[in-house]
Every structure is written in structure tokens, then in C-alpha cells.
Amino acid sequence: MNITDLKPEIVWKFFHQVTQVPRPSKKEGKMIEYLESFAKEYHVAIKKDAAGNILMSKPATPGKENLPTVILQSHMDMVCEKNNATVHDFENDPIETIVDGEWLRANGTTLGADNGIGVAAELALLASEDIEHGPIECLFTVDEETGLTGAKALQEGFMSGEILLNLDSEDEGEIFMGCAGGKDTQAIFHYEPQPTDPNLVYLTIDIKGLNGGHSGGEIHKGLGNANKILVRYLYILGTQVDFTLCSINGGNLRNAIAREAQAVIGVASKDKETARVLLNNYAAEVENELKHVDPNVRITMESTDQPASCISSELRDKLIWSLHACPHGVIGMSHDIEGLVETSTNLASVKMGPDNTIIVGTSQRSSIESYKNMIANQVASTFKLAGAEVRHGDGYPGWAPNPNSQILKVAQESYKRLFNKEAKIMAIHAGLECGLFLEKYPHLDMISFGPTLRDVHSPNERIQIETVGLWWNHLLELLKSLPAK
């Protein structure tokens, strides 16, 4: 079975088209061209702002002119992650989709259902001629995944709707009415390269096989973080033998839990066996720790050629100690909403940067602004103690729940009417653009909902096929159930 054989056909038709258009964050030009071409083909009104955000609008169907204007919103960019063995150019190649039982996934890459399925639903509404709805506006934002710059740049007056439906959630049957705010913290270590010793033997340590995942929606699962796993070993090794650190790299995106990490070290010949025994024992411990959530973790050590340079032993210690001390994972749970992660932090990436730098990327989230700043400052303090230069990003606000929301009530009632069961009303620990929309449009009444996605921001990303139809039917029922103005 192919993606185009799935139901509802109109949604999967456009999702297939979306997967054929390269759309990395900050490089959405081809996606913008596709959306402009769509608007021309279907004779839909369209406008674009300076940031590249697109707004398409469609008048009400006959008899629904007195309904309030609804904004449907999705982001057009996608997280671009792939397995090491996968050959894929995200700037030019289409995503190869595979129907795998009840799920749709990609072939060794992220699928881009986050948030391509939301884009597809909006396009299906705009293209359809037999769906009842009031006036609608469809907003497609750029660069949600690496800075929310599209939402930040959105100007007052670009949209006119009174209700906003964010289509960027990942659990069918759950309606979200709030989200966490976020902030990035970056630490930069500066060093002078040292010559390597030809009398040492050099080893590459690899951490692989982890699932990775979304640093908001999946931070509570206790998934393995490749950066933390690597530095734990390096710390243990340093207590037993002297070693040279030549390079260290791990993780990639600020909002993804690190799946892979690597370090190149040098040890004396007499210490090689000690290093290997320590690694084997440590690998067994990690495999046992992660057997329920990351059963495929692999920690390997291989001989390698002598690198050209290394870092000083003083910086080696400061880097390893601070990375080991840096918090990662859930910091606190909400006292207002049972089961909701309130505050967390993600040790996202460690990279050998330009100009003899080592750059550590982290991201913090909280539904309480003061806690968001607290954990960002805690992470900053860890690296300042090690002598690193620390920078904070601008961050983005959370979206405070509104239990008196009218659109929330309509969404609950329409779900119950369709499926004869209650939808779950939730807040989400992941960041959504909704908080930024409220800054410019404080009158908006908003909810977020979507089909079921799993392992987003990783090559295991997949979407549960059946839930797309359930979500789509709920969306259509909601649109025609709104009370007149």
C-alpha cells in the first residue's frame, strides 16, 4: 500500500505532496513556492509577510457566513534528522514514505509529519468544495523548529480571525489548552590546539542506537542521551588512567534528545586494555539502565589514526566535569495538572566549532516563567564555573491555560458527539507558537490538537494512520459546530 491509497484521500494527497518538497528550518523557500503555486491553482487568496509566513483565506460556505472567522495554523518547516547510514540531502531530496502496518514512517529519516500533516489538513480544507465551514484563514509559519522566528515576526493585523486552531499536537483524542515556554543556553569553550603524542594509541568511542526524540514531548520517558552517556564514561576513565581528549561531538538540534555521540582519545599502550575493560563494564550497566526505553543502545571502542591535535588536560577536565554536572531531563512536575512535566532541560549538543571552540547547546522549558529562567541560570552556572562563555537565547513565552475558552468547549462537545467518549483536556510540555500569537493577538481563543505521532525529531518518527481520519473528522465537525457571532 502507498501513501496515496490511505483515507481520507484528500488529506493524504496533500501530505504526500508536502513530503516531496524539501523544507528544512530556515530554508523554506521551496515550500513557500509550493504554497504559492497551490494558491494559484485553487484560486485561493494569499499573502506573505517579510519573514515568509503565508496566510491564505477562504470565504464561508453558503449558510455559514455568520460564523466567526477561524485561523488554522501549522508550521511549514521540519526537523531534518537521519540515520548515519542513510544517504539523504534534506535541501533537495523528497522524503521517502513507507506504510508500515498501522503507521506511516520514512526511510531512515524524519518523516516531517511534525508539522506537515497540519499543513496538509489546511490545504485539504482550502482545496475542498464540499466541506461546511465559516470564514477561514490558514496560517503557515516558517522556522518553528529552530527559533520560532516566523511566529515572533508575525505582525499585528496580518490575520483577522478570532479563534485559532493550532494543528501541531501529537496525540489524537487530546485537546491542548496550554504549553511551556522555552529558552536556549549555549556554552562556548575556547582552547589552543595541542600537538598529539605519537607514542599514544588512539581510540574512537561511539554511542549509537538510541531512539532520541522530542526534548519537550518525550523528555519524561527517561530516554538515553548520547552526550550524557559519553561523558559518564570519560569521567570514569579519567579516574583510572590518564588520557588525551582529541575531539568530542554529539547530538544536533536543540529540541532533540541526542541520539549519537563520539569522542577520540589517546591513551598509553599499557592503559588500552584498562580503557576497554572499563568500557565493556560500563556498556553493560548502561544497557541494563536503558533496557526498557532504549534497548538498542551500543557503546563501542575502535582504534583510529593519530589525530593532528588535542585539547589541554586542564580544559579536558573542565569540559568533562561540567558536561557530567550539567542537568538533563525532568526538573519538576506540575502541581496544577497531574502528569504534566512543568520544568525540564535538554543537553542537546556538543560540537567542535570554528576558531578552536567547543560549543555546548542546551534548551530549557517550563510552564512557569520564573522556573524557566531558574533552570537556564542553573545550566549557565555549571558552565561558568568551568570558565566557559555563556549565552542565552531570547526564548519564547508559554501559553497559559484558559479553562473558560469557548472554542475548548465546542471542541469537547463535538468530540463527544462524534465518538461518544470524552476528549482529554491537556497542557503540553513541548513549545507551541501559541504563546507568541497571544502577544500580538491577545483576543485569540485557541486550542491545539492533532493525530497521533511518535518519536518526532528522530528517524523513527511515525504517524498512526487511523488517527488522521479521526482527527480530520473532528476538525470538520468542530468547524461547522461553532456558534454564530
Catalytic, 77? Answer yes
**Cβ neighbours of residue 171 under 8 Å, at least 6 residues apart?**
424, 426, 450, 452
**Cβ neighbours of residue 249 under 8 Å, at least 6 residues apart?**
261, 262, 263, 350, 351, 352
SS3 assignment, position 358: strand
Nearest alpha-carbon partner for 434 in 419, 449, 415: 449
- State the catalytic residue, choosing from 81, 114, 143, 144: 144
Q: How far is CA 326 from CA 31, 345, 354, 428, in A?
A: 38, 9, 23, 24
SS3 assignment, position 12: helix
CATH of 3-180+398-481, one of 3.40.630.10, 3.40.190.100, 3.90.550.10, 3.40.50.720: 3.40.630.10
The domain spans of the chain are 3-180+398-481, 183-392
H or E element: which one contains 366? Answer: strand 357-366
Q: How far is CA 461 from CA 18, 173, 267, 297, in A?
A: 16, 19, 39, 18
* Three cell numbers, residue 214: 522530542
Query: β-pairing, 445-448 with 163-166?
Result: parallel
Residues β-bridged to residue 181? 366
Given a contact cutoff of 8 angstroms between Cβ atoms, the answer to whether 100 and 29 are in contact is no
Given a contact cutoff of 8 angstroms between Cβ atoms, the answer to whether 423 and 415 are in contact is yes
Sign of torsion over alpha carbons 353, 355, 357, 362? negative
| CB-neighbour burial class of residue 292 (10 A; exposed 0-12, middle 13-18, buried 19+) | exposed
Q: What is the per-residue pLDDT for 356?
A: 96
Residue type, 327: P
The Cα–Cα gap between 377 and 375 comes to: 5
Given a contact cutoff of 8 angstroms between Cβ atoms, the answer to whether 179 and 434 are in contact is yes
Query: β-pairing, 174-179 with 341-353?
Result: unpaired
Q: What is the per-residue pLDDT for 156?
A: 93
Give me the average pLDDT of each 10-residue run along the chain (485 residues).
Answer: 95 98 98 98 98 98 96 97 93 98 97 98 97 97 93 96 96 94 96 97 97 92 97 98 98 92 98 98 98 98 98 97 98 89 97 96 94 97 98 91 92 98 92 92 96 94 98 97 92
Cα 49 from chain centroid (whole Å): 25
Given a contact cutoff of 8 angstroms between Cβ atoms, the answer to whether 396 and 436 are in contact is yes
Q: Which DSSP string corresponds to 148-208?
A: -HHHHHPPTTS---SEEEE-----TTEEEEEE-EEEEEEEEEE---EEPPTTSEEEEEEEE
Nearest alpha-carbon partner for 77 in 58, 60, 90, 88: 90
Nearest alpha-carbon partner for 179 in 402, 389, 391, 430: 430
SS3 assignment, position 480: helix
The Cα–Cα gap between 79 and 112 comes to: 7
Q: How far is CA 29 from CA 34, 120, 359, in A?
A: 9, 18, 28
Rounded to two decimals, the pTM is 0.81
CA dihedral 377, 379, 380, 382 (to 10 degrees): 120
Q: What is the per-residue pLDDT for 481?
A: 94
* Three cell numbers, residue 114: 511534525
Given a contact cutoff of 8 angstroms between Cβ atoms, the answer to whether 141 and 73 are in contact is yes
Q: What is the per-residue pLDDT for 485?
A: 84
Q: What is the CATH number of domain 183-392?
A: 3.30.70.360
Residue type, 484: A
The Cα–Cα gap between 344 and 376 comes to: 10
The Cα–Cα gap between 80 and 89 comes to: 9
Indicate if 183-392 has the same CATH topology as 3-180+398-481.
no
